[in-house]
Structures are given as C-alpha cells and as structure tokens.
Amino acid sequence: PFCTFPKLIFLILISNVKDKEEEEMEAVSDQTMQQYSMTRIALSYGPSISFVMLVRLTILLFRPDIEDVAHRKLGDVTPLPVTQEYDFIVVGGGSAGAVLANRLSENPDWTVLLVEAGGEEIVLSDLPFVYPSLQLSPIDWQYKSEPTETSCLALKDRRCNWPRGKVIGGSSVLNAMLYVRGNARDYD
C-alpha cells in the first residue's frame, strides 16, 4: 500500500518507541500495562480511538444489559489445602478448557479444578481492531517461531511472533474475534 513519507517517519518513530518500552515491560504492573496499551493504541489509531470509546460509553449508559461491567471480574478464589483431591484437573483456561471444566462440573458428584497460568482478559480485548497491541503483552506467552529462510525476513533473527493467550479465554482473547469456517469439501 502507498505510504506518504511523513507517515513513514512517524511509523518508524513509533516502532522505535515501542522497542525501547517493550524492554522495560516485565517490571510494569497490570494497571500501568493497561495505560501503556492505551498509549500504544492512541498512537496507532489516532482520533478513531476516541470514537470507539464514545461508542463504548454510549452502550454502557443506554444499554447496560449488553455488558455487565460491574460483574466482569472473576473475583478471588480461596486457596484450597494441598491435600485436596479432584476428580478432574483441566489444565488451561482457554476456549476448550473452560468449556470442558464447566461441562464436567455439571455433575454434582464430581470435583473439578481448572488451572490457568494467566489472569483475566483486559478490557481492550473486547475491541477487535486493537488485537495487535495485545501481542507481546502480559496476556501473551510471547512465543517466537524458529528462524527460517523463507518468512519473517524483516523481523529480528527472522523469527515471527506466535501469539498464544496466557489468560482466561486463551488464544481466543488474541484473535481479533475472527473465525474461519472449514471448507464444505472437508466435511462431505
């Protein structure tokens, strides 16, 4: 796509700022991380972010039934003794793990433990167009692909980012709310 020279310089400056800030990310708290993400989004998307926030505020004011912000948090879980036994332990709170744990817990005779390494999703994950800012953040495992001679040539060490969710909801939190239907010939 066509890119004007001043815009190109702006994008280069933004990428340099991101590189310097990403080196310091590990010592940043969750609240500061959300502010950092908002700064990245504001720099990336400009005035359009104001429109999105206005739409979100309008929804919260006039249609609170759509999103229940007051009960969004998961809440603290009381630690159980180490000797506690479970009938099922589901590792990973992604799309499949959370559904599996829920279905297993429908039987009142079974005890189920769902283990997830990450925390809750951040509010920004509800906005599909900001999904690039969620990569390399605390809710991403920050995996890299192996170096290759045919792809990722412009990236450091020729290694692509491989976003995987470290959060309740797993990688579905990082996927821009897209899905791809399988080809009908695969099922016929």
- Give, for all 188 residues of the chain, the pLDDT tens digit: 444 444 444 444 444 444 445 555 544 444 455 555 555 655 555 566 666 677 767 777 777 666 655 555 666 666 666 567 889 999 999 989 999 999 999 999 998 888 889 888 877 777 777 788 888 888 899 999 999 888 888 888 889 888 899 998 899 888 877 777 888 888 87
Helices 30-45/5-23 angle, 10° precision: 170
Residue span of the structural domain in which 96 resides: 79-118
Q: Are residues 66 and 146 in the same domain?
A: yes
User: DSSP 3-state assignment of 111?
Assistant: coil
Total-model pTM = 0.56
> Which of 63, 90, 118 delimits the end of a domain?
118
Q: Is 162:145 a contact under the CB 8 Å cutoff?
A: yes
Q: Are residues 140 and 171 in the same domain?
A: yes
Q: Are residues 87 and 129 in the same domain?
A: no
Which backbone phi and psi does 121 adopt, to 5 degrees?
Answer: -70, 150
Q: Are residues 66 and 152 in the same domain?
A: yes
Distance separating alpha carbons of residues 113 and 121, to the nearest angstrom: 20
Q: Are residues 69 and 132 in the same domain?
A: yes
Q: Are residues 24 and 66 in the same domain?
A: yes
Side-chain half-sphere of 42: how many Cα atoms within 13 Å? 8
Q: Are residues 113 and 126 in the same domain?
A: no
Q: Are residues 107 and 23 in the same domain?
A: no
How many structural domains is the chain composed of? 2
**DSSP label of 15:** H
> Which of 96, 118, 140 delimits the end of a domain?
118
> Which of 58, 88, 118 delimits the end of a domain?
118
Q: Are residues 94 and 140 in the same domain?
A: no
